[in-house]
Amino acid sequence: MGCGPGRAGEGVSVPSAAVRAFAVDGDLPATSLALEASAGTGKTWTLTSLTVRYVAEGAVELPDLLLVTFTRAATAELRDRVRRRLAEVLAATEAALADPDGWQPTRVDAVLDHIVGAAMRAPDPAAELALRAGRLRAATAQLDDATISTIHGFCQAMLHHAALEAGVDFDAVLLEDDADLLSEIVDDHLAIELRSADPAWIRYLQDIASVGRDRLARLAREVAALPTLQLRPEHPDPGQADWQPWRDALAAFAARWHADGPGQARELVAALIDGGAFEKPRQRTYTVKTVEAKVRAIDDWLDAEHPYPPGPIVPRKGLHNQPDHPYTYLTGRALRPFLGEGVPLPDAPLVAAADRLLVATFSPATRFLHRSATRFWQELDARKRQRTVLTFDDLLRRLAAALEDPDTRQAVHAAIRQRFEVALIDEFQDTDPVQWRIFSSLFAEE
């Protein structure tokens, strides 16, 4: 069975009618149970108390009990608190055994009172007290070897424990920091992409899309941190930028602008002002004065030569402030933040043409980032396998995969369940679907 103080994990929905107060001195949980509590309300005390109860009452021996918490520091603290709790209850049990008539409930420690009190009410109190004291002494001696670990430590141990069943390489080494490996992959990717690249393509990536090494390094870290990443399409376009879609979108926008774009732009802004569409009536971005300045800027921009999309579009203060791309003033993306709640974007052909031009401007960068993410994902997996290393996230992924693969699921599940009778989980990332799948698969009821 599994019991987890903390929040319920993803996929767990507890009906309000089923929510009830938990009594730590009541019946020991015999099925999966999620305990919800705020910080500082005694979750860890409850966990250590349940551990001592399971042991003292003979429900399970300490080596067959799993304790999981979030960080390495927390595991050390949890082990120490279990040790102290065992010592407290053992001392009280031995005191009651030595002087049964002098024993009195503490009235402040419900768990201690329950363990000793239940023994005192047994048909043979002395024998039951001696039995419980013996179990507590044995648990104290076994504590250093007890499985009290982080989720990653648990996964690593279980992958070794069930290595044959899970198909894991016995020689795999844990790579605690994959920063150097990711940096190597990014550098190799850039070398491949830029070795024979068109200079216009390089300028586009750097000056317009703001895609440089730092951005790619962030992307690589993001890819590595997503254990269930699925990229679509699986085989992205391998080529460099095709400027024709952008030139077509530019020609369409220019044709509409030269037909009566300035007049349409003025009418659009005037209609929005008169209709009270702007969230802040006194905003200064879309006014009669600013639209005239943008009309002149767009005229000048369309008169210039455009061998490829010029100048950077890095929306620091908003798209409408980008002098090298004045047409973005008319895009829905630029307008949206200024419109009031519930006000729809204008259904204007000029806005639609500007939107299409903006999308065409960035689509080559989008394809490049998608291609980069795909290569990072593939290379990271290939190089880790080649070097026989695993990252922390790999530990979770490999165990989850082994528990879900029809060919390995039954054997891995049996190997781990034979190892542990009870799992007590303190705080873990229960919003992480991979972690939740592991524990629910292993310890929730079938």
Query: With contact defined as beta carbons under 8 Å apart, do 310 and 324 qualify?
Result: yes
Give residue 242's pLDDT: 66
CB 377 within 8 A of CB 242: no
| 83 C-beta neighbours (distance < 10 Å), count | 16
Please, what is the Cα angle at 278 between 355 and 261, to 5 degrees?
Answer: 40
Exposure string over 367-399, b if 16+ CB within 10 A, otherwise e: bbbbbbbbbbbebbeebbeeeebbbbbbbbbbb
Look at domain 2-172+391-443 and name its CATH class: alpha beta
Please give the Cα distance from 422 to 410 (Å, whole number). Answer: 19
Where in the chain are the domains?
A: 2-172+391-443, 175-387
What is the distance between the alpha carbons of residues 3 and 422, in angstroms, rounded to a whole number?
A: 8
In 10-71, alpha helices (H): 43-56
Range 164-178 average pLDDT? 81
Please give the average per-residue pLDDT across 207-216, as a whole number.
88
Higher pLDDT, 243 or 100: 100
- Mean pLDDT for all residues in the chain: 85
Confidence (pLDDT) at 434 = 84
What is the rounded distance in angstroms from the CA atom of residue 359 to the CA atom of residue 444? 48
pLDDT in tens, 38-74: 777 788 899 999 999 999 999 999 999 999 998 889 9
Residue 17 confidence (pLDDT): 47
Q: What confidence tens digit (pLDDT) does each residue in 372-424 have?
A: 999 999 999 899 989 999 888 888 888 998 999 999 999 999 999 999 999 99
Q: Which of 102, 128, 107 is nearest to 116 (CA)?
A: 128
| Res. 272: pLDDT tops 70 | yes
- Distance (Å, whole) CA 134 – CA 140: 10
Give the rounded percent of residues in the chain with a pLDDT score beyond 70.
87
Angle subtended by helix axes 244-274 and 349-387, to nearest 10 = 130
Helical (H) or strand (E) element with 135: helix 125-142
For residues 22-48, average pLDDT: 85
Rounded Cα distance between 220 and 282, Å, is: 43
In the predicted model, what is the mean pLDDT of residues 352-368? Answer: 89
- The band of 435, judged by pLDDT with boundaries at 50, 70 and 90, is confident
The answer on pLDDT for 5 being more than 70 is no
Under the banding of pLDDT at 50, 70 and 90, the label for residue 235 is low
Measured CA distances, 385 to 164, 380, 394 (Å): 17, 9, 11
Mean pLDDT is highest, among 141-145, 237-241, 310-314, for 141-145
pLDDT at 366: 86
Tell me whether the omega of the peptide bond preceding residue 233 falls within 30 degrees of 0, making it cis. yes
Assign 258 to helix, strand or coil: helix
More confident call, 321 vs 410 = 410
Q: Give the pLDDT confidence score for residue 239 in this predicted structure.
A: 59
The two structure tokens encoding residue 382:
């290939």
- From the list 6, 1, 7, 102, the residue with the least C-alpha distance to 46 is 6
Closest CA to 247 of 322, 354, 357: 357
pLDDT in tens, 87-97: 999 999 999 99
- 352 close to 290: Cβ distance less than 8 angstroms: no
HSE-up of residue 11 (Cα within 13 Å, Cβ side): 12
> Max CA-CA distance within the chain?
103
Q: In this predicted model, which residue has the larger pLDDT, 202 or 79?
A: 79
387 and 172 Cβ atoms separated by less than 8 Å:
no
Distance in angstroms (rounded) separating the CA atoms of residues 141 and 156: 25
What pLDDT does residue 364 have? 85
